[in-house]
């Protein structure tokens, strides 16, 4: 009976201990196992590893498409003057400057097409008397055969003799958000090829003035991306990438007064650059006809018994317009089969820009109540 009572007491004690353990689980610092909670070190480590793997994947995929731009040019040092006390009639002695050959890496770029078009900044290739080279990631060096400089933006297209290149995919800069990952690849200081820096998109729609008046190059740029990914001289022209390896901008400038304040031209401008380049048959030359005009809308035309279209205010001397027979007070009603409507003052300009230099375009022109058919040959804008 005593043994039975002892066994019963032991069972009660075990039950009580088990119930207490369920009601009061082990706390932090006590013995016992716990599953990781949201915000724990394990979760943070997993997030960091995920970000790291995304960056390394982008870098591995993009490096073959990022290039270094080099310059070859000959300069002459300034003449120097020194005092010659032995010659009182000509006390200053002139020492001619010496010629010096410059051959160095100066910027970055990236492959835009498989047949050898490279995107970079215009200021990287601004020296028209120099020759340029492109150094690929595989150490192959190419001579730049042609340079197409965008007159409106700090961008340029370089043409090299190469095939089978791997172009970088272009993203959509209109969908950028503050705080998203930004990855810059290039050759900072013209020395450290294939350098990678990371950061975030710090600002959108910035307006900046880039360059230096002492170097003779200053350009105002609008709608620029700001990033804290480290950008240095030599990174200019290289790509700014998002977390999936798409180009979102072209690195172009860095603040001289602050740290980690860099700027990139949105990739939307690169899209327009390449589209315009292809439409114009591989050139940035813009077509030109040589007139000043004002669009007449339908209501004004009806009231004044005129035709709706582009009213010619001035015809430039020796221009394609003059050679085609256009006159002041003519109204261009149709350009290359498209009627000119009075809803947009830039209508005629836009229609001209859809063509390339050398195109022959048919016009319908209203003159003194009659419609005349004219043909005009587009030339490069002066």
Q: Any idea which residues carry the catalytic annotation?
A: 123, 154, 236
Residue partners of 165: CB distance under 8 A and separation at least 6: 65, 111, 113, 114, 115, 116
Distance CA(242)–CA(55), nearest Å, equals 9
Distance CA(188)–CA(233), nearest Å, equals 6
Burial (CB count within 10 angstroms: exposed 0-12, middle 13-18, buried 19+), residue 270? buried
β-strand partners of 247: 170, 241
Q: Is 222 helix (H, G, I), strand (E, B) or coil?
A: strand
Distance CA(34)–CA(28), nearest Å, equals 9
| DSSP element (H, E) containing 93 | strand 92-95
Q: Is the dihedral of CA 191, 196, 200, 206 positive or negative?
A: positive
| Closest to 223 measured CA to CA, from 154, 286, 125 | 154
β-strand partners of 117: 159
Widest pairwise Cα distance in the chain: 138
Please tell me what DSSP assigns to residue 285. Answer: P
Alpha helices in 208-284 (DSSP H): 267-279
The Cβ of residue 322 has, within 10 Å, a number of other Cβ atoms equal to 16
Q: Torsions phi, psi of 179, nearest 5?
A: 95, -10
Distance CA(146)–CA(158), nearest Å, equals 6
Q: Is 175 helix (H, G, I), strand (E, B) or coil?
A: helix
């Amino acid at each position: 009976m005593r043994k039975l009572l002892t066994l019963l007491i032991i069972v009660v004690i075990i039950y009580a201990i088990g119930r207490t353990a369920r009601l009061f689980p082990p706390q932090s610092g006590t013995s016992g196992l716990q599953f990781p909670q949201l915000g724990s070190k394990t979760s943070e480590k997993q997030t960091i590893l995920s970000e790291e793997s995304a960056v390394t994947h982008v870098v591995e995929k993009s490096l073959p498409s990022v290039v270094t731009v080099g310059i070859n040019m000959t300069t002459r040092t300034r003449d120097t003057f020194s005092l010659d006390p032995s010659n009182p009639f000509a006390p200053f002695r002139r020492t001619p400057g010496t010629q010096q050959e410059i051959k160095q890496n100066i910027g970055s770029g990236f492959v835009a097409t498989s047949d050898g078009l490279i995107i970079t900044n215009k200021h990287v290739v601004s020296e028209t008397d120099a020759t340029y080279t492109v150094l690929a990631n595989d150490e192959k060096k190419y001579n730049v055969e042609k340079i197409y400089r965008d007159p409106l933006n700090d961008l340029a297209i370089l043409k090299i003799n190469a095939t089978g290149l791997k172009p970088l995919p272009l993203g959509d800069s209109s969908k950028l958000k503050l705080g998203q990952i930004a990855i810059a690849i290039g050759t900072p200081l013209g020395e450290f090829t294939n350098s990678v820096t990371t950061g975030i998109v710090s600002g959108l729609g910035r307006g900046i003035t880039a360059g230096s008046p002492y170097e003779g190059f200053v350009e105002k740029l609008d709608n620029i991306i700001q990033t804290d990914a480290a950008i240095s001289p030599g990174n200019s022209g290289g790509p700014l990438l998002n977390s999936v390896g798409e180009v979102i901008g072209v690195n172009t400038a860095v603040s001289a007064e602050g740290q980690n304040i860099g700027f990139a031209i949105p990739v939307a401008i690169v899209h327009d650059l390449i589209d315009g380049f292809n439409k114009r048959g591989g050139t940035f030359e813009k077509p030109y006809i040589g007139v000043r005009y004002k669009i007449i809308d339908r209501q004004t035309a009806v009231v004044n018994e005129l035709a709706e279209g582009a009213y010619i205010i001035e015809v430039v001397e020796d221009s394609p317009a003059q050679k085609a027979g256009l006159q002041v007070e003519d109204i261009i009603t149709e350009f290359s089969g498209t009627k000119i409507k009075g809803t947009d003052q830039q209508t005629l300009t836009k229609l001209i820009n859809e063509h390339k230099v050398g195109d022959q375009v048919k016009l319908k022109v209203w003159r003194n109540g009659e419609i005349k058919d004219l043909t005009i040959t587009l030339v490069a804008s002066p």
